């Protein structure tokens, strides 16, 4: 069996908590990585919380420089409205240096959510 533990690196992408507003996640540096995927976990939804998630990209770490990545550079199984108690994958195939998650809110009260970024470093094994 392949040793996935030594081939993947992880980082917090969206702090797990009950979210009542739109939020952007931690900035992930793609330099030295040949792949990046965000794993989003959801929990309870209160009052028909209508939340979605996408990937934003930028050449800098300046918050105002980030924009939604084009659909053509995102592979995802996340629906437009996240469901309770689910896990979704969003893979980034773009060429910008930095990426982050963007949790959007269209209505309702709240959702419990969090995410991690899993990447494939160019140099392995991961220390």
CB burial string 27-62: b at 16+ within 10 A, e below: bbebeebeebbbbbebeebeeebbbebbbbbbeeee
For residue 77, tell me if it sits in a domain.
Answer: yes
For residue 29, tell me if it sits in a domain.
Answer: yes
For residue 127, tell me if it sits in a domain.
Answer: no
φ, ψ at 71 (rounded to 5°): -55, -30
For residue 21, tell me if it sits in a domain.
Answer: yes
Mean pLDDT, the chain, integer: 95
Please give the tally of structural domains in the chain.
1
For residue 28, tell me if it sits in a domain.
Answer: yes
Residue 1: the pLDDT is 53
For residue 16, tell me if it sits in a domain.
Answer: yes
Let me know the angle formed at the C-alpha of 60 by 54 and 64, rounded to the nearest 5 degrees.
65
CA distance 112 to 17: 6
How many CB atoms are located within 10 Å of the residue 66 CB? Answer: 21
For residue 2, tell me if it sits in a domain.
Answer: no
Residue 126: the pLDDT is 83
Residue 34's domain comprises 10-120
Residue 124: the pLDDT is 80
Please state, for a pLDDT cut of 90, what percent of the chain lies above it.
90
Using DSSP, state whether 74 is helix, strand or coil: strand
Rg of the chain taking only CA atoms, in angstroms: 15
Q: How confident is the model at residue 4 (pLDDT cuts 50, 70, 90)?
A: confident
CATH number at residue 42: 2.60.120.1110
Residue 120: the pLDDT is 92
């Amino acid at each position: 069996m392949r040793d996935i533990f030594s081939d993947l690196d992880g980082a917090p992408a969206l702090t797990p908590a009950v979210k009542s507003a739109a939020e952007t996640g931690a900035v992930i540096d793609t330099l030295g990585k040949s792949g990046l995927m965000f794993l989003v976990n959801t929990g309870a939804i209160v009052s028909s919380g209508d939340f979605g998630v996408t990937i934003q990209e930028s050449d800098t770490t300046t918050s105002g420089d980030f924009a939604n990545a084009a659909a053509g550079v995102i592979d995802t199984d996340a629906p437009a409205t996240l469901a309770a108690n689910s896990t979704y994958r969003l893979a980034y195939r773009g060429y910008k240096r930095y990426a982050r998650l963007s949790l959007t809110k269209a209505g309702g009260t709240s959702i419990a959510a969090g995410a991690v970024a899993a990447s494939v470093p160019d140099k392995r094994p991961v220390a």
